Amino acid sequence: MISAGTDIGSLSVESVIFEREQGVIGYSIVLTGPNSRKSSEVSLERALSSANVQRADVPYIVATGCGRGISGFANESITEITCLGKGVHYLFPDCRTIIDIGGQDTKVINIDERGRVIGFDMNDKCAAGTGRFLEVMAMALNVDLQEMGERSLHFKEDLEISSLCTVFAESEVVSLVSEGREVEDILHALNKAVADRTVSLLERVGPAGKVAMTGGVAKNVGVVRALEERLGHSMMVYHEPQIVGALGAALIASEKV
């Protein structure tokens, strides 16, 4: 029994092909670009190809994410909050709190023992502390986005970034570079700033238990470490944290079938 889920986000689109006995049998991640509808089609086709499955073999598809309404192939669209709860519960049944940092927003979600959402809050008014924020800082420092986390672990001086506004933080970064500060120290400061903003959101919701982190920023080990230091314990992170919302959508599609 095969199902599919597609998470159409602001910066990327993820699709997951799910089979009840085998679990995730294929997935893809593509950049959203200027045409969300086309990107979602490409993402689904690549996921189907990786699973060696034809679209005709998938009886039900659920779309999620901020662009879920534009999908031309989905049977149903469901909010990403619900899908994240479903996906995390499948991967980590003991988890009760989810931190999701995506391209343009940050979410903190509390779920119950069945993966149902019982509370959440999100920062969606500003890109501060999100994937886009880190992307801009990486460009300012001429650092590959994928290297930011690992390089930040080799910091020597514990610097501070006072602003998380993308414009003001970029100005601070430029000033630190002109002062001759090491790139690794600046990266560490940026990751700490993201963690601080996320913990403030978490405190508003109230942590409910074990914590999992999802979204593209969960690939940044520097942010993960900084969050774990502030929480005082480790978090659960799936090996591909960017697809958890799409996985939740595929799980809901499987139930519909």
Where are the chain's structural domains?
Answer: 1-92+239-257, 96-237
Question: Measured between alpha carbons, how far is 224 from 175 in angstroms, rounded to an integer?
Answer: 26
Among residues 187, 205, 208, 200, which one has the least CA distance to residue 227?
200
Phi–psi pair at 128, nearest 5 degrees: -60, 130
How many helices (H) and strands (E) in the chain?
8, 9
> What is the arrangement of strands in the sheet containing 76-77, beginning at the earlier edge strand?
23-31, 12-19, 2-8, 61-64, 76-77
Task: Map tokens 């006995």 to a residue.
Answer: 21
Cβ(200)–Cβ(189) under 8 Å? no
- pLDDT tens, position by position, for the chain (257 residues)? 899 999 999 889 999 999 999 999 999 999 999 999 999 999 999 999 999 999 999 999 999 999 999 988 999 999 999 999 999 999 999 999 999 999 889 999 999 999 999 999 998 677 788 888 999 999 999 999 999 999 999 999 999 998 878 888 899 999 999 999 999 999 999 999 999 999 999 999 988 889 999 999 999 999 999 999 999 999 999 999 999 999 999 999 999 98
Among residues 83, 47, 46, which one has the least CA distance to residue 63?
83
| pLDDT for position 112 | 96
Q: First-to-last CA distance in the chain?
A: 8
Long-range contacts of 230-235 (CB under 8 A, 24+ apart): 230/195, 230/196, 230/199, 231/199, 231/207, 235/99, 235/211
Q: Do domains 1-92+239-257 and 96-237 have the same CATH topology?
A: yes
Non-local (6+) Cβ contacts of 113 within 8 A are: 93
| pLDDT for position 124 | 66
For domain 96-237, the CATH class is alpha beta
Report the amino acid identity of residue 167.
V
pTM (predicted TM-score): 0.94
Phi–psi pair at 13, nearest 5 degrees: -120, 130
CA 35 to chain CA mean position, Å: 20
What architecture is domain 1-92+239-257?
A: 2-Layer Sandwich (3.30)
Q: What tokens were used for 5?
A: 């889920």
Task: Map tokens 């002109």 to a residue.
Answer: 178
| pLDDT for position 163 | 82
| pLDDT for position 250 | 98
